[in-house]
Copies of this chain bind each other. A is one copy, B any other.
Amino acid sequence: MQKTNSENKQNSKHLPPSVKERLPKYYRTLRALIGTDILRTSSGELGKIMKLTPSQVRQDFSYLGGVGHQGYGYNVKDLYSVIGNAIGIPLNYSAIIVCRKTDFASVLSTDQCFSTRGVNLKMIFTDKCGDFTPSELMKFEDSKKEKLTEQITNQAYLRAADYCRRTGTEIVVLACDKDETDIAAIALADAGVRGIWNFSGKDIEIKDKNISVLNLNLHDILLGICSEITNIRQNLPNE
C-alpha cells in the first residue's frame, strides 16, 4: 500500500522541527486576521505579516496537506482550524502552575495565556502562600496574596505532582527554586505529566521521550539581548 507524497506530508510525524516551531505564530496571526474579519489570505500576505518568504509559507503549509486553493489562496478559518488541530487545541489540555509566590502565577493569569489558547488552568500551587484556583487568585488581585488556611507542610511541587496524578493534568508550569528543579521534574514525570514549561533557571534533562520539556531561561534571554546590542555596535563602525 504505497503512500503518495501528499499523504506522507499530511502525517504529522513528518513535520520538520523548524516548521513545528512556526505553527504557534501562524495560529496567532490567523487568529488576529479572524479578529479583523479577514477571511481569505495568501502565502504572500501571511509572509508579509510574519516576515517570511511566500515560498516558505507554502512549503510549511504543504506539510499540513492540501489546505489552500490554487488561484484563490487560503480560507483563514479553515487554515486556523487545520493548524489548531496540528497543535492539538481540540484536545483541551489541562495545566497547573507551581511557583514560590503568587506574583508569578498572577503574571501568567493576567496574560490570559491559557484561557485564549484552549488550555484549562486548573490550579496554582505556591510554596509560600498556599494553593489557589485561578478564580481565587484573581479575587486576591491587588491585595496581599496569602491564603494559609492550613499549615503548609510540604513543597508545592509535591502537592502539584499528587494533583496531576489524581486528575491526569498534562501540563505543568514550573517556577520552583533551582535547588528543587531536578527532584520536582522526577516527581512530575512520575505523576504522568506530559509537558513541563520550566522557568526555574536550571535546565531539566529528561531521558523519557514521552515527556516534552521547554527550558525557558530568563538569564539566557537577557544575555542574548546584551549580545545583540554589543554586536550591533561593534559592527557598525568598521567598513
| A interface residues with partner B (beta carbon < 8 Å) | 12-13, 15, 20-21, 23-25, 27-28, 51, 86-89, 91, 93, 95, 100-104, 106-108, 110-111, 113-114, 116-117, 119, 128, 142-144, 146, 170-171, 194-195, 197, 201, 205, 209-210, 212, 214, 216-236, 238
* A222 / chain B contacts, CB cutoff of 8 Å: 24, 95, 113-114, 117, 119, 171, 197
What are 28 A-B contacts with C-beta separation under 8 Å?
Answer: A12-B231, A13-B238, A24-B217, A24-B222, A24-B223, A24-B224, A51-B205, A86-B227, A87-B223, A87-B226, A88-B227, A88-B231, A93-B226, A93-B229, A103-B106, A103-B110, A107-B107, A113-B222, A116-B219, A117-B222, A142-B146, A144-B144, A170-B229, A194-B232, A194-B233, A195-B228, A209-B232, A214-B225
| Listed residue (A12, A27, A225, A238) with the most chain B CB atoms within 10 angstroms of its CB | A225
In the complex, A227→B21 CA distance in Å?
9
Q: Given A114-B222, A223-B117, answer yes or no on A212-B228 (Cβ-Cβ < 8 Å).
A: yes
